[in-house]
Structure formats: structure tokens, C-alpha cells
Amino acid sequence: MRWQRQVGVLLTVILCSGCGGESTDDAKVDDKPSLQGGVRPDSRPAVTLESLGGQGTIQGVVRFEGTVPKSRIVSVAGKYCIEKRGSSFVDPDMLVDGKGRVQNVFVYLQGGVPEYRFAVAETPVQIDQTDCQFEPRVVGVQVGQPLHFTNQDATLHNVHSVVDKKIGNKAFNFGMSGRQDVVIEKKFDTSEIMTRIKCDVHPWMVSWVGVLPHPWFSVTDESGAFRIPQVPDGEYIVAAWHERLGSTSARVRVEGGVSSPLEILFPEPRESRN
């Protein structure tokens, strides 16, 4: 009988080993909501911007100081695309006006963001293929938000996403003929800054998608301006990403629904320095 008692004690030790401290830590994680998945998504109610009631608007301009990097000259192939764009054109990857204001910068709240699980946005974001280009060049979507692809051109295009395999979004790759009534929908499962969309048939065609778990993002217009509304009071890090200039950031405080106009500066990239 002694050996039976000893076996019973041994089994109890094996079954319970690692249970004590580790399970307590897991419980602590579950008690703290996190945008990074510290809590199972279904364990928190979804919120909307309206339910949060943020009254602040973060707005400003993105500027570049220095010698503007030159864009490459794109050689166009294919009869249809040559008719639409000519035999060559300047790649629109570096749109900067005379005052240094940069277009197509993805601006978003990176730090200080309230830790909520946001309801999935139902309104789709659209990327069109027109005149042998993706339009718009840069867009933002929330995780799970529909992203619609259409083709307005009377020629075949290809939509190929280039994702970071370590992050976990599934790549897609499909062709689209020139039918205006066809819409192909895709969604992203997790955050990713940035996902490149390319056309394998026409390699100069590119678009960029910023994927975030929250709705606080914007893309600069032709005057370098951005606007992020409905932001709760607090201190934030506002990040800016550009396909040629890289990434930079600035800090801002929203208090009483008011923040000072923000100017985000990109330093001169190494490629343009002597």
C-alpha cells in the first residue's frame, strides 16, 4: 500500500507542476485590456468612436526639409497603358510642393492610444485600378474592415499583397480583368505598417495599406495636411510613414478637446545626402 501512496503523490506533483505562479500571471494579463491581444477579443465589449465621446482633433501638416529626392522615370509597357500614360512618366512616389509639404504620408496614433477593442468598421475602403495605376496611392483600414478592389481599365491587372510573414496576415494574389461591375473584397487579420500592393503585370503599379486596430489615422493630401478627429484627451505619439522618407513621429497633447496644430518634419534621407 505504501508504493500506491507514493505513486499517488508523484502523480499529483506532476499534474500540478507549473500551475501555481503561471496561472496567476495569466489572470493578471486577462484583467488588463490590450490592443496587442492581452485579453481574448471576445472578453471585452466593442466600442465605437461615438461611444468614447472624444472631442479632440489632431491636425497639422507633414513637411520635408532638404533636397527633395528625385523620382525615377517609369518606362511604360503594353499598348493600353501607353495610350493612357504615354511611353514614360515620373513615378509619383515623392510628391512634395514648393513649401516642402508631403503628400501620401500615412499618419496615425502610435503611442498613448486607449486600450479598447474597437468594433469592426463596416464601410469598405476602395482601391481602384485606373489608367494603369492603383488609386489611391495610400490608404488606411482597421483590422477586419473590408478592402475593395476594382478595375476600371480595359486590360488585365494583377493584385498582389506583400505582407510580413512574421506578423501573420495572409497574402493574396489575383488577376482582375477590365470589368467595372466586379468587386473583390479582402480583409486583414492583424495590424501591419505597411502592406504593399503591387501589380505583377505592370510592375510600376503600387499602393500601400496601413492596417490598425483603431480608427485614428489619416493620409496627407496634396498640401501635406492631415486630420484625425474624435480623439479623447490625453498625450499621444503621432507617427508618420512615407514610402521614400521612412518613418518619423511627434508628440501631442489633447486637453479639453483642443490640441495645438502639429507639424511633423521628415529629416533628409541618406540617399539624397552628399
**What was the pLDDT predicted at 213?**
93
**What was the pLDDT predicted at 181?**
80
Where are the chain's structural domains? 2-31, 44-118+213-274, 119-211
Cell numbers standing for residue 76: 511604360
- The Cα–Cα gap between 196 and 208 comes to 5
**What was the pLDDT predicted at 111?**
83
- The Cα–Cα gap between 35 and 193 comes to 15
Beta bridge partners of 59: 227
**What was the pLDDT predicted at 151?**
95
Those residues whose C-beta lies under 8 Å from the C-beta of residue 98, and which sit 6 or more positions away, are none
Per-residue DSSP letter, 80? H
Q: Dihedrals φ, ψ of 84, to 5°?
A: -85, -35
- The Cα–Cα gap between 230 and 214 comes to 12
| pTM for the structure as a whole | 0.81
**What was the pLDDT predicted at 224?**
97
- The Cα–Cα gap between 207 and 135 comes to 7
- CATH class of the region 44-118+213-274: mainly beta
Q: Which residue has the cell 493578471?
A: 28
- Amino acid at site 116: Y
**What was the pLDDT predicted at 271?**
55
CATH topology of domain 119-211: Immunoglobulin-like (2.60.40)
Beta bridge partners of 101: 63
Per-residue DSSP letter, 255? B
My answer on whether omega of the bond before 136 falls inside 30° of 0, hence cis, is: yes
**What was the pLDDT predicted at 13?**
37
pLDDT tens for the chain, residues 1 to 274: 444 444 344 434 333 333 333 333 332 323 223 333 334 445 678 888 888 888 999 999 999 988 999 999 999 999 999 999 999 999 999 999 999 999 999 999 998 887 788 998 999 999 999 999 999 999 999 999 999 999 999 999 999 999 998 888 999 999 998 777 899 999 999 999 999 999 999 999 999 999 999 999 999 999 999 999 999 999 999 999 999 999 999 999 999 988 889 999 998 766 544 3
- Element at 97 (helix H, strand E): none
Per-residue DSSP letter, 267? P
